[in-house]
Structure 1
Amino acid sequence: WYGGTRGREVWKSARVPGAKQAAPFIDPGVNTVHADWQPSLSVAAQDWPEGTYLLLLASDTGFSTYVPITVRTGATRGRTVLVNAVTTWQAYNEWGGHNLYNGPRDYGDRSRIVSFDRPYDSTGASTYLNMELPLIAVAERMGLPVSYATDVDLDAEPALFAGATSVMTLGHDEYWSTAMRDNATAIRDAGGNLAFFGANAVNRHIRFGATALGPHRLVICYKSAAEDPMTADNPNESTQDWRLPPDPRPENVLTGTYYQCFPGNAPFVVWDPGAWMFAGTGAQRGSSYKGLVGVEYDRVVRDPAPPQPLQVLSHSPVSCGGKADFANASYYTVPSGAGVFSTGTMRWVCALGTGCGQYLDDGARRFATQVTENVLREFALGPAGKVHPARPNMDEVAPPASR
Structure 2
Amino acid sequence: MKTTTAAGLASGLAPARAATPADPDRIRAENRRTGTRDWINTNVRVDPKTNYRSPGIEGYASQASVRPGETISFHVSTNPASRFTIELYRMGFYQGCGARLVEKLGSFPGRVQPDPEIGPMRLRECLWEPCVSVKIPDDWVSGVYLGKLKAEREGLESYVVFVVRDDRKADYLFQVSDNTWNAYNRWPSQFALYDDGKKNWYWGPDVQTSFDRPYGKYCQIFDVPLSVGSGEWLLWEFPLSFWMEEQGYDVTYISNIDTHLDPAGLRRAKGWISIGHDEYWSLEMFENMKKARDDGLNLAFLSGNSICGVVDVHPSSDGRPGRIIERVGRFGSPRKEELEKGFPEEGLFKKNGPNEATLMGAQSTYPVTGGGDWICRKPDHWLFAGSGMKAGDAIGGLVGWEWHGEPWDIPGLEVVASGPTTSPRGEGVYTATIYPGPKDNFVFNASTIWWATGLSSPPGFVMPDVYTRPKGVDPRVQKITANLLERLRGTV
TM-score range normalised by the length of the shorter chain: 0.7 to 0.9
State the distance in 2 between where 1:109 and 1:179 align.
Answer: 21
C-alpha change, 1:247 and 1:130, in structure 2 (3 Å) is: closer
State the distance in 1 between where 2:117 and 2:137 align.
Answer: 32
**Which runs of no fewer than 5 residues in structure 2 stay unpaired?**
1-92, 218-227, 332-344
State the distance in 1 between where 2:293 and 2:203 align.
Answer: 39
C-alpha change, 1:112 and 1:247, in structure 2 (3 Å) is: closer
Residue 397 (structure 2) pairs with residue 291 (structure 1): yes
- Conservation of the 8 A alpha-carbon contact between 1:24 and 1:96: no
One-letter amino acid matched to 2:431: N
Tell me whether 117-126 or 317-326 shows the greater mean CA deviation.
Answer: 317-326
Q: Which residue of 2 aligns with 1:221?
A: 327
Shift of 1:357: 5.7
State the distance in 1 between where 2:163 and 2:133 align.
Answer: 16
Shift of 1:171: 0.8
Residue 113 (structure 2) pairs with residue 21 (structure 1): yes
Q: 1:319 aligns with which of 422, 441, 459?
A: 422
Q: Which residue of 2 aligns with 1:44?
A: 135
Q: Which residue of 2 aligns with 1:79?
A: 171
Residue 216 (structure 2) pairs with residue 121 (structure 1): yes
- Conservation of the 8 A alpha-carbon contact between 2:312 and 2:328: no
Shift of 1:183: 1.0
State the distance in 1 between where 2:130 and 2:464 align.
Answer: 39
One-letter amino acid matched to 1:82: F
Shift of 1:221: 0.9
Q: Which residue of 1 aligns with 2:342?
A: none
One-letter amino acid matched to 1:337: D
- Residue identity over aligned pairs, in percent, reads 28
Shift of 1:109: 10
Q: What TM-score does the superposition give when structure 1 sets the normalisation length?
A: 0.83
- Conservation of the 8 A alpha-carbon contact between 2:360 and 2:444: yes
Residue 115 (structure 2) pairs with residue 32 (structure 1): no
| Aligned partner of residue 428 in structure 2, secondary structure | strand
Shift of 1:319: 2.5
Q: Which residue of 1 aligns with 2:270?
A: 165
Shift of 1:269: 1.1
Q: Which residue of 1 aligns with 2:101?
A: 9
Residue 459 (structure 2) pairs with residue 356 (structure 1): no
Residue 473 (structure 2) pairs with residue 380 (structure 1): no
Q: 1:106 aligns with which of 194, 199, 202?
A: 199
Q: Which residue of 2 aligns with 1:193?
A: 298
Shift of 1:241: 7.3
| Aligned partner of residue 141 in structure 1, secondary structure | helix
Q: 1:265 aligns with which of 355, 371, 375?
A: 371
State the distance in 2 between where 1:287 and 1:323 align.
Answer: 24
State the distance in 2 between where 1:184 and 1:71 align.
Answer: 21
- Conservation of the 8 A alpha-carbon contact between 1:200 and 1:259: yes
**Which runs of no fewer than 5 residues in structure 1 stay unpaired?**
226-239, 388-403
Shift of 1:159: 1.4
Tell me whether 319-328 or 151-160 shows the greater mean CA deviation.
Answer: 319-328
Q: Which residue of 2 aligns with 1:202?
A: 307
Q: 2:382 aligns with which of 276, 285, 288?
A: 276
More helix by proportion, 1 or 2?
1
One-letter amino acid matched to 2:396: K
Tell me whether 368-377 or 101-110 shows the greater mean CA deviation.
Answer: 101-110
Deviations along 1:153-209, one digit per CA (max 9) or x if unpaired, are 111111112242011011111111111111111111111100000111111111111
Q: What do you get for the CA RMSD once the two structures are aligned? A: 2.4
- Conservation of the 8 A alpha-carbon contact between 1:204 and 1:241: no
Shift of 1:367: 2.3
C-alpha change, 1:241 and 1:169, in structure 2 (3 Å) is: farther
- Conservation of the 8 A alpha-carbon contact between 2:450 and 2:470: no
State the distance in 1 between where 2:353 and 2:136 align.
Answer: 42
Shift of 1:245: 6.9
State the distance in 2 between where 1:184 and 1:224 align.
Answer: 17
- For these two proteins, the number of residue pairs brought into alignment is 362
- Conservation of the 8 A alpha-carbon contact between 2:376 and 2:394: yes
Tell me whether 97-106 or 141-150 shows the greater mean CA deviation.
Answer: 97-106
Shift of 1:283: 0.4
State the distance in 1 between where 2:482 and 2:235 align.
Answer: 18
State the distance in 2 between where 1:180 and 1:224 align.
Answer: 14
Shift of 1:81: 0.4
Residue 433 (structure 2) pairs with residue 330 (structure 1): yes
Q: What TM-score does the superposition give when structure 2 sets the normalisation length?
A: 0.69
